[in-house]
């Protein structure tokens, strides 16, 4: 997409190939998390959590105000970057995400819905990652292809994992007795779980960003040191994903569907999520084709390509709308049938 200017706005990029490359990994990972789970939450609320996670970026300006002068007087670059990773990056971002997760959790206080909090955490983290990914790709539009691949492999799953960790510790703190935690000291385990809701994501986020900030700021590092710093960041990223998987299994072990009706409902929800993903992707790609073609038609005197791309885009939009309608129909009729069977 050579005609895309590097100073394009987020709104302009959203309906282009860059927008698709930025958002698609987060949507795919969200579908994989929901499909792999044993008790996924209501799809509408998970989509709402995803959108609120993206919107939580708007809170960062407010959350960062108390920390904007922290560490400015430090001269040691190693200490200065550690303070920046903790107070400028990790703490404000995780406060914004945890605030959204807590707001969603406050509307779901039943103990039997502990897994819902985990899915909401994943959706919030991935929504945040989608917005951040879009901003990074637009900022570096000249190298967006390689950057999209690198971020989709680690950074996007990492943000999703941090959301899962916050949601899982919130679920464990809320249902610590049911999960078997604190057999010897239930009160201490409950309090520690409450603390880890924010402390664990912040610590992991700061540890992940610290080597990367050093790589950006310290230009005099030798290749071996750069390799070690990059390796440490990758190790922390994948370790965080592993911790998220472990916590999901711990929570899910006590909330697996036990009846045939519940298992049938789970299977139906997974099919519905697949259709939602396909429908949303087809509609989004179609809209991108149409808007990109219109933009190309206005800026380029050779306007033949738009005549091909616009029909393709409209076809993709119609396909996406049809899949969404089918999905909604399956969900409504299936839900009513499940209730009647129950």
For residues 128-153, average pLDDT = 81
| SS3 labels along the chain | CCCCCCCCCHHHHHCCHHHHHHHHHHHHHHHHHHHHCCCCCCHHHHHHHHHHHHHHHHHHHHHCHHHCCCCCCCCCHHHHHHHHHHHHHHHHHHHHHHHHHHHHHCCCCCHHHHHHHHHHHHHHHHHHHHHHHHHHHHHCHHHHHHHHHHHHHHHHHHHHHHHHHHHHHHHHHHCCCCCCCCCCCHHHHHHHHHHHHHHHHHHHHHHHHHHHHHHHHCCCCCHHHHHHHHHHHHHHHHHHHHHHHHHHHHHHCCCCCCCHHHHHHHHHHHHHHHHHHHHHHHHHHHHHHHHHHHHHHHHCCCCHHHHHHHHHHHHHHHHHHHHHHHHHHHHHHHHHHHHHHC
Q: Is residue 11 pLDDT above 60, yes or no?
A: no
Distances from the Cα of 339 to the Cαs of 257, 271, 333, 335, in angstroms?
Answer: 16, 18, 10, 6
- pLDDT given at position 5: 45
Six-digit token string for 185:
């000291």
Average pLDDT of every residue of the chain: 75
pLDDT(176) > 70: no
What is residue 149's predicted lDDT score, i.e. its pLDDT? 78
Q: What angle do CA 316, 27, 115 make, to 5 degrees?
A: 135
Residue 61 scores a pLDDT above 90: no
pLDDT of residue 48: 87
Which pLDDT value is given to residue 6? 44
- Quick one: tokens of 247? 């916590």
User: Residue 193 in contact with residue 181, Cβ under 8 Å?
Assistant: yes
Q: What tens digit of pLDDT does each residue of 296-321 get?
A: 666 665 555 555 566 766 776 677 67
Specify which of 70-84, 221-235, 261-275 reaches the highest per-range mean pLDDT.
221-235
pLDDT at 260 over 90: no
pLDDT of residue 239: 94
Res 332: pLDDT: 65
pLDDT, tens digit, for every residue of 184-227? 566 677 788 888 999 999 999 999 999 988 888 776 778 888 88
181 falls in which pLDDT band (50, 70, 90)?
very low
Banded model confidence at residue 95, pLDDT cuts 50, 70, 90: very high
Label residue 24 by pLDDT band (50, 70, 90). Answer: confident
d(CA 316, CA 310): 10
């Amino acid at each position: 997409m050579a005609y895309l200017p590097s100073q394009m706005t987020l709104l302009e990029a959203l309906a282009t190939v860059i927008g698709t490359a930025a958002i698609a990994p987060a949507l795919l990972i969200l579908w994989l998390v929901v499909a792999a789970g044993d008790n996924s939450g209501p799809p509408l609320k998970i989509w709402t959590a995803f959108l609120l996670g993206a919107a939580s970026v708007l809170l960062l300006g407010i959350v960062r105000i108390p920390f904007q002068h922290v560490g400015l007087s430090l001269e040691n670059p190693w200490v200065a970057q550690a303070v920046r990773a903790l107070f400028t990056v990790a703490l404000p971002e995780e406060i914004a995400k945890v605030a959204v997760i807590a707001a969603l959790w406050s509307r779901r206080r039943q103990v039997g819905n502990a897994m819902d909090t985990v899915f909401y955490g994943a959706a919030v983290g991935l929504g945040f990652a989608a917005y951040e990914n879009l901003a990074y790709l637009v900022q570096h539009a000249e190298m967006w292809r390689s950057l999209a691949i690198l971020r989709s492999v680690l950074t996007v799953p990492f943000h999703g994992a941090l959301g899962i960790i916050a949601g899982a510790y919130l679920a464990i703190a809320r249902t610590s007795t049911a999960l078997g935690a604190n057999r010897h000291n239930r009160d201490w385990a409950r309090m520690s779980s409450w603390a880890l809701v924010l402390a664990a994501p912040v610590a992991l986020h700061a540890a992940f960003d610290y080597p990367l900030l050093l790589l950006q700021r310290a230009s005099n590092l030798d290749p071996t040191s750069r390799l070690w710093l990059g390796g440490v960041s990758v190790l922390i990223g994948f370790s965080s994903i592993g911790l998220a998987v472990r916590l999901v299994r711990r929570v899910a072990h006590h909330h697996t569907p036990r009846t045939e009706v519940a298992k049938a409902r789970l299977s139906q929800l997974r099919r519905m999520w697949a259709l939602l993903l396909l429908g949303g992707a087809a509609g989004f790609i179609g809209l991108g084709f149409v808007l990109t073609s219109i933009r190309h038609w206005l800026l380029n005197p050779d306007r033949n390509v738009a005549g091909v791309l616009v029909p393709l885009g409209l076809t993709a939009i119609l396909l996406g709308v049809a899949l969404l309608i089918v999905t909604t129909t399956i969900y409504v009729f299936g839900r009513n049938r499940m209730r009647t069977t129950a």
